[in-house]
Amino acid sequence: MLTWALTRHPASMTVPALVEEVRSEHAQARSQALHTLSKIGDRRAWPAITRALLCDSDDEVARSAWRTAVVLVPDDEVPELVAVLSTQLGRGGREMWLSLSRALVALGEVIEPTLRAAMTDPDPRVRAHAIATEKLLRDPDAGMAYAIEEAKRVVALGGTGEGE
C-alpha cells in the first residue's frame, strides 16, 4: 500500500526520501525503497543504485536493486551495470538465479559477451547460471527451470553451452 501511495505523489517529493532510505541500515527499508523507485522510474535516482546495493548480502535487497537498476540505468552506463551484475552469477538458489537472469535479459543482447565469458568460469554454478541466462535470452518463453536443468546438464558434461 505504501508503494502505491508514494507513486501517486510527484517524483520531486518522493524520490529524495526514497534515495535516503536506500542507505538505511535496515534491509527491509532498503528493499522497499528500491522497489518503489523501480515503480516510479525516475532516472534521477540512478546514482543511488550503488555496487553495494547490487551486491548486498541480503538477497531481497540485491534482487530489488537488480530490478531497479534495469529500469533506471542510463544507456551509457549499461556496460558497467552488466559487469557488476555478472559478479552475482551463481548466487543463491533458483529464485535468485531467475531474478538475476530476468534483470540481465532485460538489458538485451549487450549481455552476450559477458555471458560467453562466464560460461568458461571455473565455478560450475556460475557457468550453469550463465548458460541458463543465455537460453532465456534466446527464448524468453522458455521456462527458467528447464533452462537451469539443461545448463546444469551441459556443465556436468563439461560443456559451455555454446553450439551444444
Contact of 24 with 33, CB cutoff 8 Å: yes
Q: Which residues of 112-128 are buried (b: 16+ CB within 10 A; e: fewer)?
A: eebbeebbebeeebbbb
Cell for 5? 501511495
The tens digit of pLDDT for each residue in 33-84 reads 999 999 999 999 999 999 999 999 999 999 999 999 999 999 999 999 999 9
- Residue count (the chain): 164
Distance CA 102, CA 124 (A): 20
Domain 1-72 top-level CATH class: mainly alpha
3-state SS track over 63-123 = HHHHHHHHHHCCHHHHHHHHHHHHCCCCCCCHHHHHHHHHHHHHCHHHHHHHHHHHCCCCC
Model pLDDT, residue 151:
64
Q: Domains of the chain: which residue ranges?
A: 1-72, 76-157
Contact of 38 with 64, CB cutoff 8 Å: yes
The tens digit of pLDDT for each residue in 80-105 reads 999 999 999 999 998 999 999 999 99
Contact of 103 with 67, CB cutoff 8 Å: yes
Cell for 115? 555471458
Residue 20 has pLDDT above 80, yes or no: yes
pTM assigned to the model: 0.83
Nearest to 146 by CA among 112, 111, 97: 97
